[in-house]
């Protein structure tokens, strides 16, 4: 008896997550069941697909050879599902989107809430990570990025421009020396990324304000934002994150700002999947409308 699609689906989840627990969370299965499915697939193929180590599950040579074929099967299933569910405008099924944590924390929640409200049978999984997603390994159906990828069979669409500005809490500014120019920042605690963990050149901005290293650092821009809200210092934040916030205020907005962009990244093979294309359209419209409201504030 040959391998089943269900077991191939489990294999892909383990390959993408690197662990039984991660795959189980993705598939909503307990890790023991995931392990049994992997074992069943390995028995059917007669070869080991994974090497287990303290770091997780890594693909064997045979596992690497299977990966593109399994991805082709997954793509075929996506087309089949799209054909069955493609009646009318209602979206259903699951869509996973990866995004930088700033976008994921401060911009996407309201946008995605509106989409799932309009499409009750749709499940959206938002993965917020301060790194680049690997769509070729199917870590997500689509991803938002701050720069254009240069490798892989991907399609790229610009979503919207945004701005990075300096901000600090009112309490912090009331208790520290006045900031009248960028030079004055040398007297203040700066909050930023851990230099060794900056995953994209577009996020390497402290040098533009004359600082080499932040006094307080995190790999998460959301953590940096909340550090600033607690009065820890001055941070570089997204302009859209300040909408509705009554704790943080802009610092030197006329003297310092950085223009950046978000891009929607999709696997080229998904161009014909109507469900994903429709979701991408709704996502783009929602984000752009949200940013119009930011500009109006």
**How confident is the prediction for the chain on average, in pLDDT?**
85
Instruction: Between 166 and 204, name the one with better pLDDT.
Output: 166
Listed residues 61, 84, 107: the one ending a domain: 84
> pTM score, two decimals?
0.69
Q: Are residues 272 and 153 in the same domain?
A: yes
Using CA atoms in the order 24, 25, 26, 28, what is the torsion angle rounded to 10 degrees?
Answer: 70
Domain CATH for 146: 3.40.190.10
Give residue 103's pLDDT.
Answer: 94
Give residue 151's pLDDT.
Answer: 74
Q: Are residues 148 and 286 in the same domain?
A: yes
pLDDT band at 99, cuts 50/70/90? very high
Identify the residue whose tokens are 């996502």. 283
Q: Are residues 155 and 275 in the same domain?
A: yes
DSSP-derived letter for residue 232 is -
**Average pLDDT, integer, range 59-82:** 75
Give residue 165's pLDDT.
Answer: 94
pLDDT band at 240, cuts 50/70/90? very high
How many domains does the chain divide into?
3
Give residue 131's pLDDT.
Answer: 59
pLDDT band at 268, cuts 50/70/90? confident
Q: Indicate if the pLDDT at residue 21 is higher than 80.
A: yes
Q: Are residues 216 and 229 in the same domain?
A: yes
Q: Are residues 150 and 168 in the same domain?
A: no
Q: Indicate if the pLDDT at residue 248 is higher than 90.
A: yes
Using CA atoms in the order 10, 14, 16, 19, what is the torsion angle rounded to 10 degrees?
Answer: 150
Tokens of 161: 């421009």
Give residue 132's pLDDT.
Answer: 59
**Strand, coil or helix: what is 57?**
strand
Q: Are residues 145 and 276 in the same domain?
A: yes
Q: Are residues 192 and 277 in the same domain?
A: no
Give residue 208's pLDDT.
Answer: 72
**Strand, coil or helix: what is 89?**
coil
E strand or H helix at 157: strand 154-169
Give residue 147's pLDDT.
Answer: 86
Domain CATH for 18: 1.10.10.10
Tokens of 16: 């993408």
Give the range among 90-94, 114-118, 232-236 with minimum mean pLDDT: 90-94
E strand or H helix at 68: helix 61-85
Q: Which of 72-76, 127-131, 179-183, 203-207 has the highest mean pLDDT?
A: 179-183
Give residue 199's pLDDT.
Answer: 66
Residue 173: domain span: 161-259
Q: Are residues 101 and 215 in the same domain?
A: no
Give residue 78's pLDDT.
Answer: 63
Tokens of 181: 């120019």
Q: Are residues 122 and 37 in the same domain?
A: no
pLDDT band at 172, cuts 50/70/90? very high
Q: Are 125 and 97 in contact (CB under 8 A)?
A: yes
Q: Indicate if the pLDDT at residue 128 is higher than 90.
A: no
């Amino acid at each position: 008896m040959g391998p089943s699609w269900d077991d191939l689906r489990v294999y892909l989840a383990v390959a993408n997550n690197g662990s039984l627990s991660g795959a189980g969370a993705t598939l909503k299965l307990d890790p023991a069941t995931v392990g049994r499915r992997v074992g069943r697939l390995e028995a059917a193929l007669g070869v080991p697909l994974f090497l287990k180590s303290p770091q997780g599950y890594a693909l064997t040579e045979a596992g690497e050879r299977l990966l593109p074929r399994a991805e082709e099967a997954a793509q075929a299933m996506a087309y089949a599902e799209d054909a069955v569910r493609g009646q009318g405008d209602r979206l259903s099924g699951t869509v996973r989107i990866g995004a930088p944590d700033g976008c994921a924390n401060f911009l996407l929640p309201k946008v995605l809430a509106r989409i799932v409200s309009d499409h009750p049978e749709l499940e959206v999984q938002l993965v917020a990570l301060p790194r680049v997603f690997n769509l070729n390994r199917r870590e997500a159906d689509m991803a938002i990025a701050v720069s254009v990828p240069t490798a892989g069979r991907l399609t790229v669409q610009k979503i919207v421009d945004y701005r990075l500005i300096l901000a600090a809490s009112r309490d912090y500014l009331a208790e520290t020396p006045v900031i009248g120019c960028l030079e004055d920042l040398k007297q203040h605690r700066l909050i930023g990324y851990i230099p060794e963990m900056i995953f994209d050149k577009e996020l390497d901005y402290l040098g533009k304000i004359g600082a080499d290293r932040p006094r307080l650092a995190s790999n998460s821009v959301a953590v940096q934002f909340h550090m600033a809200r607690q009065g820890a210092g001055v941070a570089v934040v997204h302009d859209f994150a300040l909408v509705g916030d009554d704790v943080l205020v802009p610092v030197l907005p006329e003297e310092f700002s950085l223009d950046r962009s978000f891009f929607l990244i999709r696997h080229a093979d998904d161009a014909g999947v109507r469900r994903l294309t429709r979701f991408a359209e709704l996502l783009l419209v929602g984000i752009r409308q949200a940013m119009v409201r930011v500009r109006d504030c």
